[in-house]
Amino acid sequence: MADIFRFTGLTLATREELAQQTAAFFARGLEGAANTQRAYRSDLNQLRLWLAVRDLGELPLSSATLAAYLADEATRHAWATLSRRLAAIRKWHKLNKHPDPALDDTVQTVLEGVKRSIGTEPGQAPAFEIEEFKQKIRLIPPTPAGLRDRALLLVGFVGAFRRSELVALDVEGIQFTREGAVISYKGSKTNQYGRTEQKALFFSPDPDTCPVRALQDYLSLLGREIGPLFVRIRKRDQVTEDRLSDKQVARTTKAYLGEEYSAHSLRASFVTIAKLNGADDSQIMQQTKHRTRTMIDRYTRVQQVVRHNAAMKLGL
């Protein structure tokens, strides 16, 4: 019988083609978010080193070994790191068809003890004051690198972008409108299936701190209509087409705003400042693309404790 059959005008794949297609989709299913996959690989390499140093063999893990590993790591790392490493371990066991050692009662009891000991609250990126931010933006020089950095910080802040989203933006994803600009992009942390998402930027009264004008000035420097948006600029103002890395976004933020701030401070500050200025949660989530209000509350909690507190009205 022929490998390829024809039925109602459709070509049926051979067994080899079906196997290749299945393997390709399986590989895509394993990809997930690129940053998550890199973190998982790093976590598994760290685990293998931990096992080798203690002469505890190799993967797969017994429940006793996993419990000991988690207890040891809890003395050095926050819960967010520990939970990610546990997720990587569980993923490896699942993909390699080994029993999940994390389901053991001993491991679960150790995890409960870790939570009670170190807590599960993630570290929060500090938020800046809007006047402080505007003052520092005005000090950025109008050099090629300065034009890029001004646009990077303003777009990152007003668009509430994650740094991984910022460096993935493309010039062709920008559309200018009468009110400002719409930025289309794909592949955010919470959107791993390639749906196009959009964020809006609006003209500001102050041209020195207007994200739309900053973006227009920077695009004039690039002089092209396709390709990476935020790129490296080498010595002698040589503009390349090499995307910035997310680490460079972090360094840029610290260079202009201060060492106490991280790249995530742009996003955290958007939520905090918008909330304190009267924006409701649905408006904020339209820009941040958060799916629940939990993160909105987390971002604004400290500022609300200080600014909206009855302790200021006691008359002391």
Q: How confident is the model over 137-167, as pLDDT tens digits?
A: 999 999 999 999 999 999 999 999 999 999 9
Q: 130-310: what CATH class?
A: mainly alpha
At 23-49, the pLDDT tens digits run 777 666 655 556 677 788 899 999 999
Q: Residue 65: pLDDT above 60?
A: yes
Q: Taking Cα atoms as reference points, which of 144, 141, 143, 189 lies closest to residue 162? A: 189
SS3 176: strand
Average pLDDT of the residues in 64-72: 95
- What pTM did the predictor assign? 0.67
Q: Alpha-carbon Rg of the chain, whole angstroms?
A: 24
Average pLDDT of the residues in 236-244: 94
Cα(137)–Cα(133) distance, integer angstroms: 6
Cα(122)–Cα(113) distance, integer angstroms: 17
Domain boundaries, the chain: 32-118, 130-310
* Helix/strand/coil percentages in the chain, nearest 5: 60, 10, 30
At 215-229, the pLDDT tens digits run 999 999 999 999 999
Q: 32-118: what CATH class?
A: mainly alpha
**Position 4 confidence tier, pLDDT thresholds 50, 70, 90:** very low
Residue 35 is predicted with a pLDDT of 63
Q: Residue 8: pLDDT above 50?
A: no
Interhelix angle 79-95/63-73, nearest 10 degrees: 160
Q: Which residue has the tokens 């209509």?
A: 225
For 127, counting Cβ atoms within 10 Å of its Cβ (0-12 exposed, 13-18 middle, 19+ buried), the class is: buried
